[in-house]
Amino acid sequence: PDFDGYVQTECCGSFWHNSEHSDTLATIEELFPGRPMIRLNAYTTLVFEFLKHLNP
């Protein structure tokens, strides 16, 4: 099988700009409560730590 991360889904199908517009934040939050904020927090922490240690 081709495990490229684009089509492996178990409960909700693909969210890649499909015709039902299910790739909205509201839909993702409904199906995966808390996930968007958890991911945003992780990304923000990563960028902050990177910038904090960057020597201009």
Residue in 11, 6, 49 with CA at minimum distance from that of residue 27: 11
pLDDT of 56 higher than 90: no
Residue with tokens 């199908």: 13
pTM of the model: 0.59
| pLDDT value for 4 | 61
| pLDDT value for 51 | 94
Interval 2-52: pLDDT, tens: 656 665 566 666 666 666 666 788 888 888 899 899 999 999 999 999 999
Structure tokens at 42: 């992780």
